[in-house]
Amino acid sequence: MSGDSGVRSVRFRSDTFSVPRRGHTAAQNEDAAAGPRRRASSILAAVADGATESAFAGRWARILAEEFIRNFRPDEPPEAWLGACRSLFLKDAEAEHPPDPWYLEHKRREGAFAALAGVVIAPGVWSGHAVGDCCIIHTNAERRILHAWPLASPEDFHHRPELLGTEGPMPPWAFIQHGWSRGDALLLATDAAAAWLLACGRDAALPEFHQIGTSAQRTRDNGEMRNDDLTILSVTDLR
Amino acid sequence: MPYSAEISREEPAAIVLLLDQSASMKDPFGGAEQQGDAAPSKARVLADVVNRLLQNIILRCAKEEGIRDYFSVGVIGYGDRVQALIEGTGEGRHRKYLVPVSHLAERPLRMEERLKEAHGEQAARRVKYPVWFDPHAKNGTPMCQALDFALDLVKEWIEAHPRAFPPIVINITDGEATDGDPLRFARDLRSYATDDGAVLLFNAHISGSTEPPVELPDSIEGLPDEYARQLFQMSSTLPFSMRAAAEREGHAVNRESRGFVFNADPAALIRFLEIGTRPANLR
């Protein structure tokens, strides 16, 4: 998906690629991508990755990504925003409810978990907001990596990141801010895709963004990457 | 890298639990919270721990649309006889005695209701827990026969899943074998392999002692007796993913660390089983 949009002084192009792991249907994709979306003078975009071992993880990931672009306020503490996401999740869960088998009762009580990375882009500056191992990769006009955050190299990924839950205490919330220039881009990616991007971009430019998703999928399906849901959302500055 | 095969519905992993059901399992479990006359027997604690383990394995595989068969599980008791404690409906021994988790989830022996204590913002409430088998303790310790039973299952499983993560066999016992030298059977079992690696055999010794447990040792040095040394030699080293799980449980491990715990109390047994049944993180 790509589009041009003018937002006062922020013009951008975006591409979104999201596929489930090999062998799964689209409905079983537990990644979510939302945006870019304009709010006042800013652009917001987000990706989220539901935890495989939790049930309803895909639904939770979609709520987090969509609520980020709709209602997240970077100048307010994230707890209230998370509370609103949780209320939406509970409302969904209560709406459809035939009697659960014992294991689904347990899973509902455990709740769902997901990682999240979102960006707020204003003219000349962007801020990143994240929990877990979804990544934001900032590249220049030549598609060389300038910054990668909150994880900076493929070796930093492991199987037990912090996650946002549908209940429980708020995990550590990470924040970063950088300037950006004409032609720069931000790529938001879930963990398997992010690790691959960081490996590709270590010593060379990243692939063209409109092809980057299919390149990642081909690498995965050749067995050169862990079989996982893949999501990459790119936002390129066109000033 | 060995032991890195993806665990999926197409290539599930097999977990076989061998449970000592000899007469001495009626004795109290050392290190349990209740002591004296209220102390539970080793058989009682073991049944509770393994029923809870089966529940947790199923919950790891549970999604809103149903249970994904990432695992097949076998539970074999050995005491007055060697017998499967759970059974499926498939043809062939390995399909009958290595039961897909979806089948297990739908067919517990019974559901028990227990009070779950308040936790954080959640009030105490009655919760249903599945039970698949009850404690049993009678006669001797035919560990060699149990290992041989496991070997038959594992051989058939490997023929059906030659590229999968290799089967994991966990033996839980409170005493020595009474039917021969189990080391030979252990070596036979561990000689089988899929393309991803050799069968993993782990051993947990549980006892009435209140001596601290020896957990995941990397050397035979310092083990308290000949029996502990035998169980150590029967045990496989931990693959990478399980070493990572062990580190998360607070253990200092290395490439030589074995899947073996001696003198385990209930808490050590639970930790050990948590480590030994996580061949890979499903995330």
- Out of A66-80, A215-229, B35-49, B214-228, which region has the weakest mean confidence (pLDDT)? B35-49
Q: Are the Cβ atoms of B6 and A227 closer than 8 angstroms?
A: yes
Identify the band that residue B91 occupies on the pLDDT scale cut at 50, 70 and 90: confident
Q: Give the pLDDT of residue A2.
A: 42
CA distance, residue A173 to nearest chain B CA (Å): 21
Task: Using CB atoms, pick whichever of A55, A102, A105 lies closest to residue B63.
Answer: A55
CA distance B247 to B251: 5
Residue A6, pLDDT score: 44
Q: Smallest Cβ distance to B64: which of A55, A158, A167?
A: A55
Task: Tell me: pLDDT of B169 over 70.
Answer: yes
Whether the link from the prior residue into B135 is cis, omega within 30° of 0, is no
- Establish if A159 touches chain B: CB-CB under 8 angstroms: yes
Which pLDDT score, from 0 to 100, does residue B121 have?
A: 60
Residue B40 pLDDT greater than 80, yes or no: yes
pLDDT at B212: 85
Q: How confident is the model at residue B283, as a pLDDT?
A: 44
Instruction: Of B21, B135, B140, give the one whose Cα is nearest residue B83.
Output: B21
Percent share of chain B, pLDDT over 90: 66
pLDDT of residue B107: 92
Best mutation target, B64, B71, B165, to test chain A (most A CBs within 10 A) = B64
- Residue identified by tokens 């191992």 is A133
- Whether chain A has a CB inside 8 Å of the CB on B244: the answer is yes
CA–CA min distance A207, chain B (Å): 27
The residue in chain B having the minimum alpha-carbon distance to the alpha carbon of residue A21 is B8
- Sequence-ordered alpha helix ranges (H) in chain A: 57-71, 78-95, 102-110, 191-200, 209-221
**Any idea which residue has 């496989």 for tokens?**
B236
Residue B23: per-residue pLDDT: 93
- Distance CA(B89)–CA(A48), nearest Å, equals 40
Residue B34 has pLDDT above 80, yes or no: no
Q: What residues have CB less than 8 Å from B188, skipping those under 6 apart?
A: B147, B151
- B107 φ, ψ to 5°? -135, 55
Tell whether B110 lies on the interface with A, counting CB pairs under 8 A: no
Contact B105/A101, CB-based, under 8 Å?
yes
Q: Has residue B72 got a pLDDT over 50?
A: yes
> Which pLDDT does position B96 carry in this prediction?
86
pTM for the structure as a whole: 0.87
What is the rounded average pLDDT of the residues B159-172? 96
Q: What is the pLDDT of residue B222?
A: 85
User: Nearest-CA neighbor of A50 among A119, A126, A133, A138?
Assistant: A133
Could you tell me if B123 lies within 8 Å of chain A, comparing CB atoms? Answer: no
Helix (H, G, I), strand (E, B) or coil at A159: coil
Provide, as residue numbers in chain A, all residues whose Cβ is less than 8 Å from the Cβ of B121.
167
Mean pLDDT, chain B, whole residue set? 90
- Taking the Cβ of residue B275 and every Cβ of chain A, the question of whether any pair is shorter than 8 Å is answered with no
Per-residue pLDDT tens digits of chain A, which is 239 residues long: 344 444 455 688 999 999 999 989 999 999 999 999 999 889 999 999 999 888 899 999 999 999 999 999 999 999 999 999 999 999 877 776 677 899 998 998 889 999 999 999 998 899 999 999 999 999 999 999 999 999 999 989 876 789 999 999 999 999 999 998 989 999 999 999 999 999 999 999 999 998 999 999 999 999 888 899 999 999 998 87
* Contact call for A160 and B281, based on CB within 8 A: yes
